[in-house]
């Protein structure tokens, strides 16, 4: 089935450690996105990529990094510089620029 796969679904990390969240899509979409979802705060854009080998910062990029070496893949690294990393992370892709997004099931990161 076509879709977006995020892994892991749940992740625990000690303070000071970097962690990488995987996002793979087989929808042949050019654009991909990473959002952070916190209770009562909606979705906030971390990074986005319109095309392979290019990505742009979103509203809350500090403490995060991404790469886009393949069209299908857009991994997110949560670095030790992110002050409050415990959150639910959503990856999405889009076929164009209408605003319609397709989401993965999310990765819940907990920092102990």
Partner 1 sequence: AQSVSQHNHHVILSEAASLELGCNYSYGGTVNLFWYVQYPGQHLQLLLKYFSGDPLVKGIKGFEAEFIKSKFSFNLRKPSVQWSDTAEYFCAVKQGAGNNRKLIWGLGTSLAVNP
| Contacts with partner 1, residue ranges (CB under 8 A) | 4, 31, 33, 40-45, 48, 50, 56, 58, 90, 92, 94, 97-101, 103-106
Rounded Cα–Cα distance for residues 39 and 45 (Å):
15
Residues in the chain: 112
Cβ distance to partner 1 smaller for residue 48 or 74: 48
Rounded Cα–Cα distance for residues 19 and 1 (Å):
28
| Closest-CA residue to 91 (of 25, 30, 26) | 25
Cβ distance to partner 1 smaller for residue 51 or 81: 51
Smallest gap from Cβ 15 to partner 1, in A, equals 28
Maximum alpha-carbon separation in the chain: 39
Smallest gap from Cβ 38 to partner 1, in A, equals 10
Cβ distance to partner 1 smaller for residue 9 or 18: 9
Smallest gap from Cβ 43 to partner 1, in A, equals 5
Smallest gap from Cβ 48 to partner 1, in A, equals 6
Rounded Cα–Cα distance for residues 49 and 71 (Å):
10
């Amino acid at each position: 089935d076509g879709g977006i796969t995020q892994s892991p679904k749940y992740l625990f990390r000690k303070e000071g450690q970097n962690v990488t969240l995987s996002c793979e899509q087989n929808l042949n979409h050019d654009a991909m996105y990473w959002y952070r979802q916190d209770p009562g705060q909606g979705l906030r854009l971390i990074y986005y990529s319109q095309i392979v080998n290019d990505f742009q910062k979103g509203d809350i990029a500090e403490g995060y990094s991404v790469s886009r070496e393949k069209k299908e893949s857009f991994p997110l690294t949560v670095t030790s510089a992110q002050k409050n990393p415990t959150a639910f992370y959503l990856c999405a892709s889009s076929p164009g620029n209408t605003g319609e997004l397709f989401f993965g099931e999310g990765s819940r990161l907990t920092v102990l």
